[in-house]
Amino acid sequence: TRFLGIESSCDETAAAIVAMDGDGRGEIIADLVLSQLEEHAAFGGVVPEIAARAHVEAMDGLIAGALQEAEIGFGDLDGIAATIGPGLIGGLITGAMSGKAIAYAADKPFYGINHLEGHALTARLTDGVAFPFLMLLVSGGHTQIVLVKGVGEYERWGSTIDDALGEAFDKTAKLLGLGYPGGPAVERAAAEGDPKRIRLPRPMKGEDRLDFSFSGLKTAVRQSAQALAPVSEQDIADICAAFQLAVTDTLEDRIARALQRFRAEGLAGDNQPALVAAGGVAANGAIRAMLTGLCAKEGFAFVAPPLRLCTDNAVMIAWAGLERRRAGFDPDGMEISVRSRFPLDGNAAALIGSGR
């Protein structure tokens, strides 16, 4: 079974062909991603109008490229899956309309996919992780701890009440003049810094809940920078190191709680429980090292898909479509619409299935 996947919810235009065999194992046939990083870098963040235009310009070529790489035509596909939310509306429309047009013209089933479901199911493609598992999603737009019970069955255990973690990295970098995207720049600077010199807060640490808050941390970074102004290169490195440590500490506190809850609820049965990391921030070495150690201590398998599949891509969208089909979900109708907000938990399946 072969699906074309289309992703265009933020600043990456992507098209991919993924196959699934009879046992539910996947194979990536083609995987194309065009990042708009350079278009947005000068503005220090993603500009929606620029993103929308870039998706329109890139989409057809990427889809054609993916088919060419797979050496197949539209007629050889078993279905088309496109992200319908959450994200920036302009890009979502481009991707969803392209997917529907192909599905209509080639008479193939169309699946509208929740972008977060794509992130959530990727570890099943790369590592065959069995349900249920725990997922930490840390990206530019999301920070969530999600119990993944099955295809279309998600329980959100915690999320950020303000900034996403990637956003906190990006804002910290901007504040310190390190450029965009901020995550890699902050990590690089932090490697040269002393994490103990400046003390930053650990928002909500010790509280008996699984939510996050990062906007106070960002304010503390600003105040530290102002107190030291004019900042030297060493000051910047020290602030970055302190920021990264505060973030890692906070995540560790929250994830430890989530792992304990997963165990206490006996969710894994006889299987080894697993924590899956997804999203661009999962590229961070300090965070990865912390999660590796914490999972080893708590008896969890730690699964982090390769970086290319952690950040936005179309492989995960094609895969989510294949998983939905295998799980027995009906395809969506042509009338299914895009949405900027699209929570994964609760009635995600009902929302997605509105074309039935």
Residue whose CB is less far from ligand ATP, 67 or 165: 165
CB of 76 to ligand ATP, least distance (A): 30
CB of 305 to Mg ion, least distance (A): 15
Q: Is 183 annotated as a binding residue?
A: yes
DSSP secondary structure, 103-134, as one string: HHHHT--EEEEEHHHHHHHHHHHHH-PPSSEE
CA pair distance 45, 180, nearest whole angstrom: 7
Q: What's 160's DSSP letter?
A: B
CB contact set of 68 (below 8 Å; sequence gap of 6+): none
Using rule CB under 6 A, residue 242 touches ligand ATP: no
> β-strand 2-7 against 12-20: which pairing, if any?
antiparallel
- For the CB of residue 184, give the shortest distance to ligand ATP in the complex, in Å: 5
Q: Is 115 annotated as a binding residue?
A: yes
Q: Based on CB atoms, which residue is closest to ligand ATP, 259 or 309?
A: 309
140 annotated to bind ligand: yes
Instruction: For residue 114, give both structure tokens.
Output: 């929740």
Residue (46 or 242) nearer to Mg ion, CB: 46
Taking each helix axis from N to C terminus, what angle separates 182-190 and 285-298, rounded to the nearest 10 degrees? 80
Cα separation of 281 and 139, whole Å?
Answer: 5
> Which residues, 6 or more positions from 163, have their beta carbon under 8 angstroms from its beta carbon?
171, 214, 215, 218
**Would the annotation count 259 as a binding residue?**
no
Please state the closest distance from residue 75 (CB atom) to Mg ion, in A: 32
Q: Is 195 in the site for ligand ATP (CB under 6 A)?
A: no
- Min dist CB 88 to ligand ATP, Å, is 9
Interface with ligand ATP (CB under 6 A), residue total 22
Contact (Cβ atoms closer than 8 angstroms) between residue 96 and residue 338: yes
Select the binding partner of residue 85 from ligand ATP, Fe ion, Mg ion, none (C-beta < 5 to 8 A, by kind).
none
Side chain identity at 24, as an amino acid letter?
Answer: G
**Does the protein bind ligand ATP through residue 183 (CB under 6 A)?**
yes
CB 106 within 8 A of CB 98: no
Contact present, 123 and 136 (Cβ < 8 Å): no
187 annotated binding-site participant: yes
Q: Strand 2-7 vs strand 79-85: parallel, antiparallel, or unpaired?
A: parallel
- Please report, as ranges, the residues that interact with Fe ion according to CB under 5 A: 139, 312
Answer yes or no: is 24 a known binding residue. no
| 141 near ligand ATP (CB under 6 A) | yes
Choose the stretch contacting ligand ATP; rule: CB under 6 A; options: 24-32, 72-80, 136-144, 147-155.
136-144
Mask 61-100, x = binds ligand ATP (CB under 6 A)? --------------------------x-------------
Q: Which residues bind Mg ion (CB under 5 A)?
A: 10-11, 312
Contact 335, 113 (CB under 8 A): no
Q: Is 160 in the site for ligand ATP (CB under 6 A)?
A: no
Contact string 2-21 vs ligand ATP (x = CB under 6 A): -------xx-----------
Report the nearest approach of ligand ATP to the CB of residue 22 (Å): 31
Query: How would DSSP label each residue in 292-338?
Result: HHHHHHHT-EEE---HHHHSS-SHHHHHHHHHHHHTTPPPBPTT---
Length of the chain: 356
Which residues line the annotated binding site for substrate?
137-141, 170, 183, 187, 284
Which residues line the annotated binding site?
115, 119, 137-141, 170, 183, 187, 284, 312
Which residues line the annotated binding site for Fe cation?
115, 119, 312
The residues of the shown chain that bind ligand ATP, judged by CB under 6 A, are 9-10, 87, 139-142, 166, 169-170, 181-184, 187, 279-281, 283-284, 311-312
